[in-house]
A and B are shown apart, each in its own frame.
Chain A
Amino acid sequence: MFPSHLLTIRELSSDQIRALLSLSNRIKKNQEAYSQVLKGKAILQFFIENSTRTRMSFEYATRKLGGTNVTFAAASSSLNKGETLLDTIQTIKHFGVDAVVMRHTSGGTPALVAKVLGSPVLNAGDGQHEHPTQALLDALTLAEHWQMSFEKSLSFEGKKVMILGDILHSRVARSHIHLLTKLGAEVTLCAPLTLLPPDLSLFPKVNVIYRPDTAIPNMDAVMCLRIQYERQNGRHIPSKEEYRHFWGMTEVRAKLMKSEAVVMHPGPINRGVEIDPEVADSARSLILKQVENGIWVRMAALASLLNPEGVRA
């Protein structure tokens, strides 16, 4: 049921996704029961590229499961130090850790590491590729908000979700597109053409629109994405102000939403650009619930990979 690594959502089956979400929910409801699941296990937190919440969340999740953290953080890749990736992997191997949580600037690197390493690898975000735990925690947040049962076959059938913003540079969006469609939601991508992936033909079926306003009233949830200036070269949008004018989740735009519809953001937020503070802090915002759920999802991911027997339902 559980995969041997957590590298992408694309390669998970919908049953594997449901199992992870269900386990996340069980852990959340009864965390004490899982406090020894990683006893005696060491988890390498390998973070190339800055991260605050994901890293903290993985480290905290490890501790709550009774495991030990070994932390390796650097701002740059192996190459910048004149080391090959093979050297890096050998180094990791000889730490003798039981699993590796990896954040990397370059897409596909956790998968390469997984191929050689042997022990489980959890992708904590790789380049512009995927960020599986972020998508899972968002799905958990939505399922809870929609008061869905995790015991029966969880389904987002009939739900409409918009992913709004810098989809081109977003690993979160890539994971979401797969996860939401695998659970049956209808996904709409909305961004200027400069911030959309150039060819969506290998993705599952999604709607693509350039401007959000006419579609927003139909949505059950809108996920705003951070504008990733660091991955852009200054040619994708004319200015933050213009972006906010057309795509920002302003109060005016939030008012177009159904009363029960929610707003999400994976963080960190460019306040006043992709989402206005009044909306981010409003009742329809699930942003802080997303952060909290990150812990449970990452506990579930670690526990299922490292001790699948110990977390059987």
Chain B
Amino acid sequence: MNCLIKNGHVVDPSQNLDQVLDILIEDGKFKAIDKPGSFDASFVGKNIIDAKGLVVAPGFIDVHVHLREPGFEHKETVATGTLAAVKGGFTSVASMANTLPVTDNVMMIKFILDRAKEAGNARVFPIGAVTKGLKGESLADIGLMVEAGARAISDDGMPVMNSDLMRRAMEYAKTFDVPIISHAEDLNLSQGSTMNEGAVSSILGYRGNPKASEEIMVAREMALARLTGARVHIAHLSTIEGLEQVKRAKDAGLNVTAEVTPHHLCLNEKLFLNAHSHAHHACVHHHAITDYKMAPPLRTEADQEALMVALNSGLIDMIASDHAPHGCVDKEVELEMAANGILGLQTTVPLMFELIAKQKLTLKRMIEALTVAPAKLLGLTDHGKIKVGAPADLTLLDLAQEWELTASSVVSISKNSPFLGRKFKGSVRMVLVGGEVKNGS
């Protein structure tokens, strides 16, 4: 398929592009990129996209999503999750292994890849489990999964508590040159917790998840990265203390990266106080308070600010949504019993626009953290940049459009977002995956 994208403001941090350019796509691949008008004479085809006034970026990559299929199709499927991805500006997503059955073997990897192909929305790069059944007892078929297409391995929300097993997992993962993604949480410390441990949990009487739970596990992963030389990626960092551990590891030259979620950048634990108080009737829906419940929990304002600084400094390498769909039986329940996690694919980019509007983030840094860094983590040498000869994945952004997130605009099966009813400025206008328009609006 051929296509000419004209007059877009091209921002590709991988090659320091930040100017108005035309992009020529042939057979689904980038053919050439040059100043406006360069291809007008030679282009034969009808498919011309006028991107005047839009930002054109390499297709965004989300390294942390839960697609829930198979096993939890009442929450999300590969088809609906990847549709949410393209609506939200992501041309590629990496899917976590906590499906049922668990994605701990070749058949499951192939199933997910097949489903993604059938759906034909965003690309899916599966993440395989570290341990069989996410049980933390023995290694999953890591090598075979990598051979079948897994791009990383992780037990995510079921962190491997046994340090020796994690050490072996890192060594084995290094053998196949895939990163281990760690959800850094000491489960003994966080057991039974509903929110961050601190002033708010104390006054509301909830069992808290202490920041030390993250600090300890990040420190352990860093120690094991030092021991094994493996590539280790820390998922959804949430604390100042966790950041300090990552900084120490990076300063020591270890092979370490980290991500942050939009919600940890934009929200903090104080929301529980407001939502909890009868005096506040601002909740859009009655169970909104459970949409503030996630793992790691929303931390303090100081943590929130430190994460922002770290994203800008590069200490945090990338933004990931941790898209975690949950249905009403998981969320419309008592707070202490509610499942962890919120939707993220359709709100990540708009929330980053909010931060840009507040001058806390630059457009270039946002795009870098959604393209270059995630592509590198997953070993996607053809993605995360506009590279002649590579598949044409692009995200087109309209920084001016104003809109509101409503339940009907959420294409996920689940609607568990604390951002329902939020008004945003800036939207995803279109994505192209392999040169094909997937989300024209």
Q: Which residues of A contact B (CB under 8 A)?
A: 5, 7-8, 10-11, 77-79, 82, 84-86, 89, 104-109, 111-112, 114-116, 126-130, 171, 174, 197-203, 233
Contact = CB atoms under 8 A, between A and B. Distances in A.
Interface string B261-285: 0000000000001001111010100
A202 B200 contact: yes
Nearest to A201: B199
A78 B333 contact: yes
Contacts of A200: 199, 202
Contacts of A199: 197-199, 201-202
5 contacts: A79-B333, A107-B335, A116-B286, A174-B203, A199-B198
User: Which 10 pairs of residues, A with B, have the shortest CB-CB distance?
Assistant: A128-B205, A106-B334, A197-B202, A129-B205, A84-B332, A106-B336, A199-B199, A202-B199, A201-B199, A202-B203
B329 interface: yes
Interface in B202-216: 202-208, 210
Given A106-B337, A199-B198, A202-B200, 13 more contacts: A11-B279, A79-B337, A82-B329, A84-B329, A86-B287, A89-B286, A126-B205, A174-B205, A198-B198, A200-B199, A202-B202, A202-B273, A233-B192
Contacts of A85: 287, 332-334
Contacts of A114: 278
The DSSP consensus for interface residues of chain B is loop
A125 to B, nearest CB: 11
Interface string B238-258: 000000000000000000000
A92 to B, nearest CB: 13
A130 B205 contact: yes
A5 B208 CA distance: 27
B210 A77 contact: no
Nearest to B327: A84
Nearest to B329: A84
Nearest to A107: B205
Nearest to B206: A107
B283 A127 contact: no
Contacts of B202: 197-200, 202-203
A215 to B, nearest CB: 22
Contacts of B277: 11, 111
Contacts of B332: 84-86
Nearest to A77: B334
B328 interface: yes
Nearest to B207: A128
Contacts of A202: 199-200, 202-203, 273
A87 to B, nearest CB: 8
A14 to B, nearest CB: 16
A106 B197 CA distance: 17
B294 interface: no
B47 interface: no
B203 A108 contact: no
Contacts of B333: 77-79, 84-85
B337 to A, nearest CB: 5
B234 interface: no
Given A10-B203, A174-B205, A202-B199, A109 B334 contact: yes
A10 B329 CA distance: 30
B191 interface: yes
Nearest to A174: B205
Contact of B283 (A7, A106, A115): A115
B276 A111 contact: yes
A171 B205 contact: yes
A112 B199 contact: no
Contacts of B200: 202
Given A77-B334, A84-B333, A128 B206 contact: yes
Contacts of B286: 86, 89, 112, 115-116
B289 interface: yes
Contacts of B287: 85-86, 112
A230 to B, nearest CB: 12
B327 to A, nearest CB: 9
A129 B207 CA distance: 10
Contacts of A106: 334-337
A171 B329 CA distance: 27
B420 to A, nearest CB: 16
A286 B198 CA distance: 34
Interface string B296-331: 000000000000000000000000000000001100
Nearest to A109: B334
A313 to B, nearest CB: 25
Contacts of B278: 5, 7-8, 11, 111, 114-115
B409 to A, nearest CB: 22
Contacts of A203: 202-203
A297 B401 CA distance: 56
B205 A198 contact: no
A128 B200 CA distance: 13
A203 B205 CA distance: 12
B201 A129 contact: no
